[in-house]
Structures are given as structure tokens and as C-alpha cells.
Amino acid sequence: MESKGMKLFEELGHPMSFKRGEYIYKQNQLLDDLRVFYILDGDVTLRRKYTALKSDELHYQKGDMFGILEVYLGKARITEAQCVTDVQLLGFNRVGVEKLMSSEMSVSLSIIRSLSAILRKVNHHIKELPA
């Protein structure tokens, strides 16, 4: 990302750090602090647990954004986010994300890619349902 874009990220984002194995948030956690996250460094796994034996995972790395669905739904977290490595993040509220999306095409594309990956997982589950 070019320096102009990164400057906007730093102005709007709240820096956060997590250690390997820590949870950024857990599934069903109520949202008192609506945040979308941008990974500055490290790897994060998003996991959606359906049952004790059934879950889905999406993997995110440096430059990826996650957590957008709940910010727009305004509900409890539907996934949990766990750090695979030590992680440095910027957290954005809804207004900050919208400013980034309108200013930086790369942010909009990153969010579209993230939502597309989620949609592919949902479609896969729909295909597995009995007819």
C-alpha cells in the first residue's frame, strides 16, 4: 500500500497487539466495540463453530481485513478470531471503514474478497444440505 493510503489507515485506525494463541474476539461475543480489523503483521484464523465436531475456518494474513459482517449486522460475533502468530492490527469502527472504502480502492477490494470467501463457504454448506 502506498504511503498516502497507509497514512489514512493510521489516522483512522486504533493500534492493537495480540500474542500467538490469543483471541481477538470469540463467537457469540456481544459487540460493545464494533471493530473491523486490518492486519499489519501476523496471521489470524477466523473460525465458525456449528457443533462440537463441525466448524469452518478462514485464514487471514498481513494486508487482510476481517470482522466486517458483524459491524454491519450490529449483532454478536458470528465467528471467533484467533492469532496463529503474534499479531499487530489496526481496528476501525464503521465510520472509519466507510471513509477508507471511499478513499482507498484497495480497501473496498479487500472487503469484497473477504465477503466472497465467506459466501463460498455458505454456498458449500447449502449444497451439502439434504434435498
Cα distance between residue 18 and residue 88, in whole Å = 7
Half-sphere exposure of 11 (CA within 13 A, CB side): 10
CA angle 90, 63, 18 (to 5 degrees): 45
User: Distance between CA 131 and CA 115 in Å, rounded?
Assistant: 26
Residue 38: CB atoms within 10 Å = 25
Mean pLDDT for all residues in the chain: 86
Q: What is the pLDDT of residue 82?
A: 98
Grade residue 101 by pLDDT with cuts at 50, 70 and 90: confident
pLDDT: which is higher, 81 or 35: 81
Residue 119 phi, psi dihedral angles, 5° rounding? -60, -40
In the predicted structure, residue 130 carries a pLDDT above the cut 90:
no
Q: What would the mean pLDDT of 83-93 be, rounded to a whole number?
A: 96
What is the model's pLDDT at position 22? 98
56: closest CA among 48, 65, 64? 48
Residue 86 has pLDDT above 90, yes or no: yes
User: In this predicted structure, what is the pLDDT of residue 61?
Assistant: 95
Is the pLDDT at 1 greater than 80? The verdict is no
Q: Which structural domain, as residue segments, surrounds residue 104? A: 3-128
Q: pTM here?
A: 0.83
For 50, which DSSP code? S
Return the closest-CA partner of residue 57 out of 44, 72, 65, 46. 46
Domain count for the chain: 1
Q: Assign residue 28 the CATH number of its domain.
A: 2.60.120.10
